[in-house]
């Protein structure tokens, strides 16, 4: 079986190498892919949308449908992970463990105690669960800057490399840093899972809602130039602003999906102490 | 002749090599996470292939520097900028590959919870019983 797989892969590789000899040269400016649509996009992006980053203009405006359904795919992935993995209703009962964070002393309690936020004690799942003081404090210092950088990448996606997907991933990774440096339970206390699902749905809703709004103003679906009266801008500037609104929606969905995927995969769907 | 082809189209050989590694891992490996890794390598090869199509010699990133010129006297020549279309398509593909990777890993965890193993022959053996 393995030999058969090897032989068929090599044969396929040889066949593709043979076909590749007819492909355009590396870096050829006159390759077929660069001759049909892309000159129009490059030359007309600024006059038509006033967005200097052509990739952003293409992503959210010219190919808006593509990106909208891509956001829907991300939404579906989060939902699929939830339905495959999430274990609900496994509330722990009986003896509970509490750790004093600064000294690391473990305290056993016969019943569950509800700790106020910011308490110096923390409920832990097992004796082996560690809390590293320096790592936790350094990560807490870094996370706000990561989040601001994520917001910058979303908001500045018109003028520099960036956009909703990249910024959303950075925002999500800030949360994952929190979950790694502390533990999943205390990260989940700050970002409720239910809110994350609201965010996933809100992002798709913002995207599709912008398209429907354009229809209400008399344009085609996702034709932002008709949103001028709503934003108080001329048609070209309103296309730029429409791209921004859509990117914010994408950022919501991607951030919440990253968080939920990590959440379910790291804890096998239990959302307890995690890795 | 052959040397010319190699000198101008060597990039495709790299993508085909990567793609075959991914395909072989998906067909030949018995371990489910390794199959998923193979799928990721396969997707990455296709992304690199598309990105390499967008390359033009003596061109720069598809972000227009609008600071130099003001308003309408900005003249943009298509030959000066990389083809943005493959970048957009691959941005889509990267996100979809992350989504498929997440769902695949979730399925693998579910399989492990059911069968206590990730080796395909052992899972098939358990299913036959």
- Overall size of chain A counted in residues: 275
Q: Is the CB of A55 less than 8 angstroms away from the CB of B83?
A: no
Contact B43, B17 (CB under 8 A): no
User: Looking at residue A92, what is its pLDDT?
Assistant: 58
Look at residue B67 and tell me if it is in a domain. Answer: no
Q: What is the pLDDT of residue A101?
A: 74
Tell if the CB–CB gap between B63 and A160 is shorter than 8 Å. Answer: yes
Strand partners, A97: A108, A124
Tens digits of per-residue pLDDT, B90-120? 998 998 899 999 999 999 998 998 888 999 8
**Complex confidence, ipTM:** 0.86
Domain tally, chain B? 1
pLDDT value, residue B19: 94
CATH number at residue B47: 1.10.287.3510
Of A42, A53, A163, the CB nearest to B76: A42
Query: Which tokens hold the place of A122?
Result: 């923390």
Helix axes A2-20, B2-28, angle to 10 degrees: 150
Specify if B75 maps to a domain.
no
How far is B80 from A209, CA to CA, in rounded Å?
36
A115 touches chain B (CB under 8 A): no
Q: Which pLDDT score, from 0 to 100, does residue A47 have?
A: 86
pLDDT band at A128 (very low <50, low <70, confident <90, very high): low
For residue B68, pLDDT beyond 60: no
Q: Which residues of B touch A265 (CB under 8 A)?
A: 102, 105-106, 109
In a domain, B77, yes or no: no
Contacts of B96 in chain A (CB under 8 A): 70, 73
> Are residues A9 and B99, on separate chains, in Cβ contact within 8 Å?
no
What is the model's pLDDT at position B72?
55
The whole domain housing B26 covers: 1-55+82-128
CB pairs under 8 A between A and B: 163
**Interface touch A38/B88, C-beta < 8 Å:** no
CA distance B117 to B127: 12
Tell me what pLDDT residue A256 has: 93
Q: Where are the alpha helices (DSSP H) in chain B?
A: 2-28, 32-53, 84-115, 120-128
**Is residue B103 included in any domain, yes or no?**
yes
Residue A206's pLDDT is what? 94
Whether the per-residue pLDDT at A168 is higher than 90: the answer is: yes
Q: Answer whether residue A14 shows pLDDT above 90.
A: yes
| Residue A274, pLDDT score | 65
B6-43 per-position pLDDT tens digit: 888 888 999 999 999 999 999 988 999 999 999 999 99
Q: DSSP for B66-101?
A: -SSS-GGG----GGGB--HHHHHHHHHHHHHHHHHH
Residue in B16, B27, B56 closest to A20 by CB: B16
pLDDT of residue B70: 52
Contact B63 A52 (CB under 8 A): yes
Report A:209-268 residues touching B (Cβ under 8 A): 254, 257, 261, 264-265, 268
Averaged pLDDT, A139-157 = 93
Residue A251 pLDDT: 94
For residues A90-117, average pLDDT: 73
Give the distance from residue A233's alpha carbon to the nearest chain B alpha carbon, in angstroms.
16
| Whether residue B74 has pLDDT greater than 80 | no
- Which helix (H) or strand (E) segment is A192 a member of? none
pLDDT at A74: 94
Give a yes or no: residue B115 inside a domain: yes
Radius of gyration of chain A, Cα coordinates, nearest whole angstrom: 25
pTM: 0.85
Fill in the DSSP letter of residue A125: S
Tell me the average pLDDT across A243-270: 90
Question: Distance between CA atoms of B25 and A179, rounded to whole angstroms?
Answer: 32
The answer to whether position B61 is within a domain reads no
Q: For chain A, first and last CA: distance in Å?
A: 36
Structure confidence at residue A46 as a pLDDT band (50, 70, 90): confident
Check if A46 contacts B (Cβ < 8 Å).
yes
Task: Say whether residue A90 is in contact with chain B using an 8 A CB cutoff.
Answer: no
Both structure tokens of A200? 């996933």
pLDDT-derived band of residue A152, with 50, 70 and 90 as boundaries? very high
Residue B11 forms contact with A (CB below 8 Å): yes
| B101 inside domain | yes
Over range A133-153, report the average pLDDT. 91
Q: What is the pLDDT of residues A224-255, one digit of tens each?
A: 888 888 888 888 889 989 999 999 999 999 99
Within-domain flag for B64: no
- In a mutational test of the B interface, the residue from A34, A82, A269 whose CB has the highest number of chain B CBs within 10 Å is A34
Answer whether B127 touches A (CB < 8 Å): no
Choose from B72, B101, B102 for mutation: most chain A CBs within 10 A.
Answer: B102
What percentage of chain A has pLDDT greater than the value 90?
35
B120 vs A contacts (CB less than 8 Å): none
């Amino acid at each position: 079986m393995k030999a058969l797989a090897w032989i068929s892969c090599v044969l396929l590789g040889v066949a593709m190498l043979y076909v590749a000899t007819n492909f355009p040269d590396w870096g050829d400016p006159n390759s077929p892919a660069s001759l049909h649509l892309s000159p129009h996009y490059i030359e007309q992006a600024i006059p038509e949308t006033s967005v200097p980053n052509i990739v952003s203009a293409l992503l959210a405006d010219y190919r808006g449908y593509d990106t909208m359904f891509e956001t829907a795919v991300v939404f579906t992935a989060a939902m699929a992970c939830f339905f495959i993995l999430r274990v609900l209703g496994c509330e722990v009962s009986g003896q509970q463990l509490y750790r004093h964070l600064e000294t690391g002393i473990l305290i056993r309690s016969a019943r569950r105690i509800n700790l106020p936020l910011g308490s110096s004690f923390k409920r832990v799942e097992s004796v082996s669960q560690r809390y590293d003081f320096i790592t936790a404090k350094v990560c807490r210092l870094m996370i706000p800057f990561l989040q601001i950088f994520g917001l910058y990448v979303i908001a500045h996606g018109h003028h520099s490399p960036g956009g909703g997907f990249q910024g959303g991933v950075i925002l999500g990774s800030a949360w994952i840093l929190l979950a790694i440096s502390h533990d999943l339970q205390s990260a989940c206390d700050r970002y409720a899972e239910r809110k994350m699902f609201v965010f996933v749905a809100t992002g798709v809703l913002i995207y599709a809602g912008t398209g429907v709004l354009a229809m209400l103003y008399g344009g085609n679906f996702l034709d932002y130039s008709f949103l001028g009266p709503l934003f108080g801008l001329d048609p070209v500037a309103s296309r730029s602003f429409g791209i921004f609104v859509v990117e914010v929606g994408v950022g919501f969905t991607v951030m919440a999906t990253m968080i939920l995927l990590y959440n379910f995969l790291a804890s096998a769907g239990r959302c307890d102490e995690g890795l | 002749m052959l040397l010319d082809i190699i000198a101008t189209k060597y990039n495709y050989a790299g993508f085909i090599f990567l793609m075959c590694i991914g395909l072989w891992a998906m067909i030949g490996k018995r371990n489910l996470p390794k199959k998923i890794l193979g799928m990721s390598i396969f997707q990455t090869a296709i992304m690199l292939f598309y990105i390499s199509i967008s390359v033009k010699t003596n061109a720069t990133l598809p972000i227009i520097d609008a600071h130099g010129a003001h308003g309408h006297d900005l003249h943009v020549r298509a030959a000066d900028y990389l083809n943005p279309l493959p970048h957009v398509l691959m941005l889509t593909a990267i996100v979809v590959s992350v989504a498929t990777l997440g769902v695949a890993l979730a399925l693998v965890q579910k399989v492990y919870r059911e069968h206590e193993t990730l080796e395909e022959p052992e899972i098939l053996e358990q299913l036959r019983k």
